[in-house]
Chains A and B, each alone.
Chain A
Amino acid sequence: NAGVTQTPKFQVLKTGQSMTLQCAQDMNHEYMSWYRQDPGMGLRLIHYSVGAGITDQGEVPNGYNVSRSTTEDFPLRLLSAAPSQTSVYFCASSYSSPAGSYNEQFFGPGTRLTVL
């Protein structure tokens, strides 16, 4: 099993450009999520999905869109990149929702994004 994979590993964008960060998992997990990690702030939830066709907003959703057409894939789209979106982005998956459970979150290796 490859686990959770993310592409690209690194990306540099100019302000205003759009792009899609890819995330895929091969563990048949229902729950997938996107976080951004900034120095001193920990991981902050951007969007999450409890299953194919279902997505919802996290703590910091503005400027990002997601879709979940299959169980395996959960792409994150930056609509019009801004310097404030410079960050490290992690995708994660778990067997099911964390609600009241002790499901382990499996993280991808991250995408380091710089917006100039």
Chain B
Amino acid sequence: RKEVEQDPGPFNVPEGATVAFNCTYSNSASQSFFWYRQDCRKEPKLLMSVYSSGNEDGRFTAQLNRASQYISLLIRDSKLSDSATYLCVVNTNGNKLVFGAGTILRVKS
């Protein structure tokens, strides 16, 4: 079983739609959690950290469920510019981060 698993998609949604991604992790001792965004053939960039209480940044909401060991990302009012691959990232073991394989989002007009 992979340490961090994501649905690869692609998720094809129209502009203005709400879309949600989930990510599960296997190590219950994991300490910190993130969503990164990666555009085609570019480097990953931090979208948002995921805190235990959940957090929101504009149209983006991230939540953490430690009991079920999953994190989620909700995007409201999708824009064409949201089209990208979204990477779930977990600090599972001390000095290391583990990346999920990514979920592809395509927003269409």
- Tell me if A22 counts as interface (CB < 8 A to partner B): no
Q: Which of B50-104 contact A (CB under 8 A)?
A: 51, 87, 89, 91, 94-102
Please give the distance in Å from A68's CB to the nearest CB on chain B: 13
Tell me the complex Cα distance, A31–B96, Å.
10
CB within 8 Å for A43 and B44 given contacts A102-B49, A105-B97: yes
Number of interface residues of B (CB under 8 A): 25
Alpha-carbon separation in the docked complex, A109 to B96 (Å): 20
For residue A31, which residues in chain B have a CB less than 8 angstroms away from its CB? Answer: 95
Stretch from A13-21, A70-78, A93-101 that touches the partner: A93-101
A48 touches B43 (CB 8 A): no
**C-alpha spacing A112/B32, complex, angstroms:** 29
Asked if A99 and B31 sit within 8 Å, CB to CB, the answer is: yes
Asked whether, in the complex, the Cβ of A98 is within 8 Å of the Cβ of B95, the reply is yes
Give how many A residues have a beta carbon under 8 Å from the other chain's beta carbons: 27
Is the beta-carbon distance between B43 and A40 smaller than 8 angstroms?
A: no
Picked from B31, B34, B91, B99, the residue with its CB within 8 Å of the CB of A43 is B99
Partner of A101, one of B4, B32, B96: B32
Contact A104 B46 (CB under 8 A): yes
Question: In the bound complex, do residue A48 and residue B95 qualify as a contact, i.e. CB atoms below 8 Å apart?
Answer: yes
Residues in chain B near residue A33, CB distance under 8 A: 97
> Which residues does chain A contribute within 8 Å of B4, judged by CB atoms?
42
Interface positions of A (Cβ within 8 A of B): 31, 33, 35, 40-45, 48, 50, 56, 58-59, 90, 97-102, 104-105, 107-110
